[in-house]
Amino acid sequence: MRNAGITGACALLAVGVIAGCGGGSSSSSGASGASGASGASGASGALSESAFISQANAICKDVNAKVVALPAITDSQSAVSTSTQELAIFNSAFPKLAALQAPSNLQSDYSQWVSDAKAQIPQVEKLISDIKAGNTAAIQAFAARAKVVGAKHDALAKQIGITECAKNTKPQG
């Protein structure tokens, strides 16, 4: 059942392997700022905890909406197309997420969360190549790793308070 394996692995991608992710990132505009009414504090430019969480959640909520609007994955062709589009959405969100300056009490965890998410990009790119090549064994191996990595990443997002970034959304359009 080659297509079932491909669809399952890609569903894991859609469920949030990358950024925590299901939304762990977004291409929403206006969420990279940090001053005045947005809740910035201190000379370092770090946001207050509530402003930081609000802005990160806004970015992830936008990503979630864009992912849900993508075409559902039904076969290997749609898996490649939708996964490629999903990866582009995540890639466009990383600069916005990285630009957010977390308050000192969340900085270490947030930096780890962003770093872990970025580290998944090459894995997802390889998954897309494996889908194109019909490499079922590699797709299944990705799926097994993705479950573990995604669960850890989502748990860290929840710990930080960026719950939108831990939601597991998938293409449904």
Residue boundaries of the structural domains of the chain: 2-25+48-166
Q: In Å, what is the CA distance from 6 to each residue of 22, 62, 73, 74?
A: 18, 26, 9, 9
**pLDDT surpasses 60 at 4:** no
pTM: 0.78
First to last CA, the chain: 24
CA distance linking residue 128 with residue 126, whole number of Å: 5
Residues 6+ apart with CB under 8 A from 161: 49, 53, 106
Q: What is the model's pLDDT at position 9?
A: 52
Q: What is the model's pLDDT at position 45?
A: 78
Return the exposure string of 31-47: e unless at least 16 CB atoms fall within 10 Å of the residue's CB, then b: bebbeeeebbbeeeebb
